[in-house]
Structure 1
């Protein structure tokens, strides 16, 4: 048994000695050439280190593929942050309080009209576009108009009734599509509403009156311009957040 222990001890010391000589050789090459060891030399040294010292398994290394992904993600985050850095989302627009929904494709606005109505606006990030001809005598080609879906709920504080406007926000105008009128029952369940006709099928006078109804409550073309500016900034914020979350996942 003592002979076996002495043999094992000599083997361990021999391995340590070989490793020390290997380290010394790499260091000697480094000093003599005035530069850093090659990638192959470093990898060979690291591989020998982990073979010779199995207790170093706690060290976590990334594969070349993962390291390349991280490099690209960091570069993209830096580019997006420098090229078009987003600013802090605004929290107020006219009489509305603006609530950003971080990590989501929506934002919410809340307001009041008089002493009897609550107004809630929910808007998507850009969810579509249309191509339109360029204007002007020498204009050629097409321009792109981005689209935002908007839902406006106007409810009475002293009753269960709510009027909901389903709209499109274009860069310079708000377009109404449908109007729902519904109420909640005593057990707070939503009563399924009759959706009514498309807004475009209503009489001209009724369409004009309903637009004035919304405009009096601050839901107008100016709101559309604000939403497009807000969503341009939110799009940059969410892109950087998405890139960072992806980087954190790969780093773990």
Structure 2
């Protein structure tokens, strides 16, 4: 136990701290997987829309929440009950919603394409900015 006055640790604690540090050194950290947060809105010509709050990873899309919105009548959006949490829905229903958005083009490959596009666009804009800056400084 740590002495509250001096801050010294007992012998047992020092040994356990060293063991924990060694354990952490043995386990390589997993690199964080890139992800893109998404708000997917599926709508028809008239009537309510279905919105999904998702997180897209390189190999899968995770639906966090979903709800119905009423673009034609925003006052209906303020209904007290938004539905159950997505994770408590029946597994078959969750799979059906994943398939529903997949059929409509919301797939990991599409998200990967958009992610690469965003990176390339940012790089091109940065390069253009550097060229503009160079032209300004050298003229």
Q: TM-score range by the shorter chain?
A: 0.5 to 0.7
Structure 2 regions of 5+ residues with no counterpart? Answer: 1-26
Equivalent of residue 35 in structure 2, options 127, 147, 154 = 147
Q: Deviations over 1:9-59 (max 9, x none)?
A: xxxxxxxxxxxxxxxxxxxxxxxxxxxxxxxxxxxxxxxxxxxxxxxxxxx
- CA drift of 1:152 comes to 1.2
Equivalent of residue 69 in structure 2, options 164, 171, 182 = 182
Q: Distance in 2 between matches of 1:228 and 1:219?
A: 13
- CA drift of 1:204 comes to 0.6
- Identify the residue that residue 192 of structure 1 maps to in structure 2: 78
Counterparts in 2 of 1:239 and 1:148: CA distance versus 1, 3 Å: farther
1:151-162 pair list within 5 angstroms: 151-157=39-45, 159-162=46-49
Q: Distance in 1 between matches of 2:125 and 2:86?
A: 33
Quick check: which has more Rg, 1 or 2? Answer: 1
Structure 1 regions of 5+ residues with no counterpart? Answer: 1-138
Maintained 8 Å contact 2:48/2:72? no
Structure (1 or 2) with the greater strand fraction:
1
Q: Distance in 2 between matches of 1:142 and 1:162?
A: 38
Secondary structure of 2:34's partner? strand
The runs of at least 4 aligned residues of structure 1 exceeding 4 Å deviation read 241-245
Secondary structure of 1:210's partner? helix
- CA drift of 1:166 comes to 1.1
- CA drift of 1:192 comes to 2.9
Secondary structure of 2:95's partner? helix
Counterparts in 2 of 1:216 and 1:242: CA distance versus 1, 3 Å: same
Counterparts in 2 of 1:189 and 1:209: CA distance versus 1, 3 Å: same
Maintained 8 Å contact 1:150/1:166? yes
Maintained 8 Å contact 2:58/2:109? no
Q: Distance in 2 between matches of 1:198 and 1:148?
A: 21
Q: CA RMSD in A?
A: 3.0
Counterparts in 2 of 1:189 and 1:230: CA distance versus 1, 3 Å: farther
Q: Distance in 1 between matches of 2:68 and 2:129?
A: 38
Maintained 8 Å contact 2:48/2:71? yes
Counterparts in 2 of 1:140 and 1:239: CA distance versus 1, 3 Å: same
- CA drift of 1:183 comes to 0.7
- CA drift of 1:190 comes to 7.1
TM-score (norm 2): 0.61
Aligned residues: 109
